Structure 1
Amino acid sequence: METADDAEITEAASRPAVVDSPAPDDRRVVREAIKDGSGTAMATDPPVKRGLPLAYEGSYYEIDWNATGTEPGTAFAVGVDLNGTAPADETVWFEELSERDRRLLGDLLTATSEREPRLSPGPEIAIPEEYTIAETNESVLLSGEYSAVRYNGTVYPFVLEERREVTLTRYRYTVSRVADSTNSYAQQLRDEHLFRLSGLSEGERSVMNEAIDGVYYAEDTDDKSFRSIMDQFSAESAIEADSYGGTWLVRYDGKVYTADLSYGGFNRSERPVAG
């Protein structure tokens, strides 16, 4: 359990809409939906799952999607070697890549070039990717003609693995604004999820006090105090939870906490969870 102000409450109940990653397309569709009202992505699975609201530039958004069609595509993995070499005739300039190749490799090379090169041979990092047929036909990476790319004056060998034909689904994403500020979202969360623990036994208070700024572990399933706390939490509306644990917002001894509770190993039967 951690004491929580507005910023910490909303952080526990949201996901970032923009992430720094070698694979930027997983969140690109969300940024499009927030700015334009909707966005589309082609993938074998939804690139961004439903779940906690997304935080973007101080506001918070619920996300949803529906499938609108399918088309064939290509799945593969690309890896980059930071300290490898390649023949000149197998090296292509970054600027000669297709637009989709540049978007993929640009972020990957930026991320990998900032790492300390390893002495062992082979790619330092590899990521999976999916292209539509049009992107496949335009791709220089997938043409088989080159094994390295020259980027900002440095040659980076790359390898392609696990190439296969797949069926891509077109996902249309839409968003709705949940709150336009951290304070207003935190207040919503308090109104919907905050509950109070009081009148606890000495054993129950021991569980709670040990969990504050730390962790309480139930050593065995005969821990009646932990079981009582577990039952009280799982009966309340959680910020996010499944049958084996979750995150709650609780007031205890006059302070507000975010509390992470995991009871999958303690109670293996599925439990009803509110919220």
Structure 2
Amino acid sequence: MRRRQFLASGTALLSVAVAGCVHPAVVLDMDEATATDITNEVSITADPGSEEYSVVSSALENGSATRRGRSDLFDPADTVRVDDSFYEVSETRLGSSEVTVYEVRIDFDPADSTAELGEIEYGDLPEVDHQRLEQIVSEDPPTQDGDDIGIEYGTAEEVGNESVFVPEQQYDIMVHDGNRYRIGVDSRTASEAEYRYEVTEVAPDVETFADQVREQYLFTLSGLSDAEKEVVEEAIDGGYFQDDDAFQSVIDRIRDHEGISVDDFYGTWLLEYEDVDYLTYAEW
């Protein structure tokens, strides 16, 4: 599994953290891998309604697509899944210009809650403001001094004409459940680029793409000593975290092969052990 997923979800890591250690020194974790697991490991999914989905769908329909944005939309190494098919996406930066980007700041416990511009109930906000602020006001508000949180609204073009805060601020007090919050608006200059996208199909379905990944990365872990087998079996059962000779021997065997993602001290591999495919994450 991917490193960030393992660190977030590993119950073994949690138990170690509770015991007082931030993180074990070494890790070997082996998860049985279906075709879907394999494709999820080496691709990103563009969900319907997302900007990524819209761009790829438009490029497929029209041969190419363009968008304006303040950052790249895709990593060059990413294979993108749209519905059940997989694509390589070419993202070309065509040119850039300067734009004004707005941020709405909220002070949840202002020293002075008297309105200077005006006050508005949260429930009366236009939809564009309601959507951007909904998650913020639905949680327990922070209580530190000064502005508690900032929400990037984007450019005036992205916001549209309905907002009561951006680009022209009409209210400086927002009332929610009887609480009075002070609203501030900041702006900054940012670079916005125009991008052109072209897509090439890599595989028409999950099974085909998984087979391609297996062909590139899959290897068989075999010929192990009894001590090495114990390491692997424990890694399959829930994770191995002991920095001993058997662990290092297994890691050396794994590192002899091409990994899906490998850094200086950790990596992810696809291997077969006793006729079963495993996504294998290791730290050493």
- The two structures share one fold, judged by TM-score above 0.5: yes
CA contact (8 A) 1:64 1:174 kept: yes
Match for residue 71 of structure 1 among 97, 110, 130? 97
Match for residue 221 of structure 2 among 184, 194, 197? 197
CA contact (8 A) 2:44 2:78 kept: yes
AA partner of residue 147 (structure 1) = D
Measure, in 2, the Cα distance between the counterparts of 1:124 and 1:80: 6
Measure, in 2, the Cα distance between the counterparts of 1:32 and 1:209: 44
Structure 1 residue matching 2:258: 3-state secondary structure: coil
Tell me whether 1:50 sits opposite 2:71 in the alignment. no
By how many angstroms is 1:125 displaced? 5.9
CA contact (8 A) 1:245 1:261 kept: yes
CA contact (8 A) 1:73 1:130 kept: no
By how many angstroms is 1:251 displaced? 0.4
> 1:160/1:231 Cα in 2 relative to 1: closer, same or farther (>3 Å)?
farther
The C-alpha deviation readout for 1:80-133, integer Å capped at 9, x for no partner, is 6799988583449644x8xxxx2xx454345446x444485888864445427x
Larger relative CO (CA 8 A, sep 6+): 1 or 2? 2
User: Which aligned pairs between 1:1-275 and structure 2 lie closer than 5 A?
Assistant: 1-18=30-47, 27-28=50-51, 30-37=52-59, 38-43=65-70, 45-79=71-105, 87=115, 89-91=118-120, 94-95=125-126, 102=128, 105=129, 107-112=131-136, 115-118=138-141, 120=143, 126-128=150-152, 130-131=154-155, 140-147=165-172, 158-161=183-186, 163-219=187-243, 223-263=244-284
Measure, in 1, the Cα distance between the counterparts of 2:83 and 2:181: 35
CA contact (8 A) 2:132 2:153 kept: no
Q: TM-score normalised to the size of structure 1?
A: 0.69
> 1:51/1:117 Cα in 2 relative to 1: closer, same or farther (>3 Å)?
same
> 1:234/1:86 Cα in 2 relative to 1: closer, same or farther (>3 Å)?
farther
> 1:108/1:118 Cα in 2 relative to 1: closer, same or farther (>3 Å)?
same
Q: TM-score normalised to the size of structure 2?
A: 0.67
Number of equivalenced pairs: 240
> 1:17/1:137 Cα in 2 relative to 1: closer, same or farther (>3 Å)?
closer
CA contact (8 A) 2:270 2:280 kept: yes
By how many angstroms is 1:252 displaced? 0.6
The C-alpha deviation readout for 1:141-164, integer Å capped at 9, x for no partner, is 13233336799xxx9864435x32
Measure, in 2, the Cα distance between the counterparts of 1:86 and 1:180: 60
Measure, in 1, the Cα distance between the counterparts of 2:74 and 2:131: 19
CA contact (8 A) 1:73 1:136 kept: no
CA contact (8 A) 1:81 1:157 kept: yes
By how many angstroms is 1:72 displaced? 0.6
Bigger mean CA deviation after superposition, 135-144 or 232-241: 135-144
Measure, in 1, the Cα distance between the counterparts of 2:135 and 2:174: 15
Give percent identity, aligned residues only. Answer: 25
Structure 2 residue matching 1:191: 3-state secondary structure: helix
> 1:185/1:125 Cα in 2 relative to 1: closer, same or farther (>3 Å)?
farther
By how many angstroms is 1:233 displaced? 2.2
Measure, in 1, the Cα distance between the counterparts of 2:262 and 2:74: 19
By how many angstroms is 1:51 displaced? 3.2
Measure, in 1, the Cα distance between the counterparts of 2:152 and 2:56: 26
Structure 1 residue matching 2:254: 3-state secondary structure: helix
CA contact (8 A) 2:102 2:166 kept: no
> 1:170/1:205 Cα in 2 relative to 1: closer, same or farther (>3 Å)?
same
C-alpha RMSD of matched pairs (Å)? 3.7
